[in-house]
Amino acid sequence: MPLVAVVMGSKSDTEAVQATLDVLKELGIDHEVSVISAHRTPEKARQYGLAARSRGIEVIIAAAGGAAHLPGVLASWTTLPVIGVPLATSELRGIDALYAIVQMPAGIPVASVAIGNAGARNAAYLAAEILGLKYDKIREAYQKYRSVLQGDSK
């Protein structure tokens, strides 16, 4: 049963989101992947956010570019933690998406990671940290990854 929902705003985001999927796979975290546009398919976003918890999802990672309202819209329909990944898919190269995600008004939080590949990877690591509070196997896999980093001289 997937614990992490990875949602992207467009099929065109697939390549940018691959780094998130790679890390989740490396850490052995069950996940599902969906394409939902907050502006083209708002009803789908609402239904997805409302049903996520009852389907067993515990963390949502939402990646979008441009006026990236997807993470905030999903967060409005659920009390699950939402991690937003700003993608550099527009002329503003992700600055717009970063501001849209990180500048959520008070009351409905969305965690923001960095623009692009670093953020895509870190979203999965952050999800592992959250899930590691409850799941020993995920915490151990994540700790193993971190201990490998300590031996890395770069």
By CB under 6 A, name the binding residues for ligand RP5. 9-10, 12-13, 37, 64-66, 87, 89
State how far the Cα of 141 lies from the Cα of 111, in Å rounded to an integer. 22
Task: Give the DSSP H/E element, type plus range, for residue 7.
Answer: strand 4-8
Nearest position to ligand RP5, beta carbon: 9
C-alpha–C-alpha distance, residues 56 and 117, integer Å: 27
Residue placing its CB nearer to ligand RP5 in the complex, 15 or 22: 15
- In angstroms, the CA 57 to CA 51 distance is 9
Q: How many Å apart are CA 12 and CA 88, to the nearest integer?
A: 12
CB 80, min distance to ligand RP5, A? 20
Considering the complex, what minimum distance in angstroms separates the CB of residue 1 from ligand RP5? 26
User: Closer to ligand RP5 at the Cβ: 27 or 36?
Assistant: 36
Closest to ligand RP5 by CB, 63 vs 128, is 63
